[in-house]
Amino acid sequence: MAGEISCDSIWTGADLVTMRDGRYNLIEDGAIAVRDGKIAWLGPRAEAATITAREHTDFGGGIITPGLVDCHTHLVFGGDRSHEFEQRLNGVSYAEIAAQGGGIISTVRATREASLEQLVSSARRRIEHLLAEGVTTLEIKSGYGLDESSELRMMRAIRQIAQEIPADVLSTCLAAHSTPPEFKQHPDGWIEVICDRLLPQVAAEGLADAVDAFCEHLAFSPEQVARVFTRAQALGLPVKLHAEQLSSLGGSALAARFNALSADHLEYATESDVQAMAEHGTVAVLLPGAFYLLRETQLPPVELFRRYQVPMALASDANPGTSPALSLRLMLNMACTLFRFTPEEALAGVTLNGARALGLEQSHGTLETGKVANFVHWPLARPAELIYWLGGQLPCQVIYRGEKQ
């Protein structure tokens, strides 16, 4: 029984899918009391009789989940690459597209040409789709500017977006995403720019919450990534890594040694990689959208993650080239059908484990007293329905920081 509690609002009439410990941990016919944008109390409605609140919302059925967390996106960029998607389906190879000036360089060119206002407005149009499906926390990476001024402009756009939308937005500096055209013959030169000039400015202006890199044969070597990570940590910035997407370079083990928040993609991760991640608390972020669009066949080692108890997060990887995904809920279905997740694992992947991948597990990702009051009401009978329905936009009521959206 709750003691005498005075709150701003109380929300009743639905089952609470708390996701505590990464499980449904259902509270039937629950109640959530909110004060100052945080959860002040939650439990069975029958125990909430002593709670007084200025506002009372009764949903009359359904379920309430934590707000969804999209922990890996590239939502800020210029232009689009739908024409390349069509080219690939007509038999043009990626190498041929790149030789024509396409691929990531076409996005870099469009991003460099875009103003801050254009980057913000185009990203917001994309983000609206995610917010409408219950996303209340998301990460956005830079990485399509690939010069100092454009990378800084991208991160300033992310910070501006964070002030304009009802969601908690984290910014990640991914300057080590690809070698800029100007450094094609000298990729170490770009690493030097990142370490000596860009990251210090990013840290001084508070433009990033973390630093990322792409460790792959077509991007940067483990040695180059280690230089970026060493500089980031010296500046007090946590790290994460795109690793083992196309080949096995030991990037995820490298990330773990730097106590990375996450290693992402991971199709080619080995058992030693997974063991290192388990030892250092690094979250595995799996990205079924890119796996699907690229028609990959190498599955990430989900059974190894389970065996070593590495938390598995899911994300949209929303980007113009390999995952133009604007539905995190669709990623839940893909994770279950392609990667053999259970529905409970999938929902944990975009709640508690998504929050862990951003270093936010103490404040986000579950319905618990003291956490931020980000939650979503769904007129559904059970949590698995979130994953079961393919396409369409399920009706939902999003509550962000205790306020209806």
Annotated binding site for Zn(2+): 72, 74, 242, 317
Cα radius of gyration (the chain): 21
**Distance in angstroms (rounded) separating the CA atoms of residues 50 and 33:** 11
3-state class of 53 per DSSP?
strand
9 and 41 in contact (C-beta within 8 Å)? no
Q: Which residues are annotated as a binding site for 4-imidazolone-5-propanoate?
A: 81, 144, 177, 245, 322
- The continuous run of DSSP H or E covering 150 comes out as helix 148-164
Per the annotation, where are the binding residues? 72, 74, 81, 144, 177, 242, 245, 317, 319, 321-322
Residues in contact with 98: Cβ distance below 8 Å, sequence separation at least 6, in sequence order: 105
| Exposed / middle / buried, residue 163 (Cβ in 10 Å: 0-12, 13-18, 19+) | exposed
Q: Nearest 5 degrees, angle CA 344-CA 389-CA 384?
A: 20
Angle 168-316-184 from CA coordinates, rounded to 5°: 100
Residue with tokens 């839940």: 332
Question: Which residues are known binding-site members for N-formimidoyl-L-glutamate?
Answer: 144, 319, 321
d(CA 197, CA 375): 40
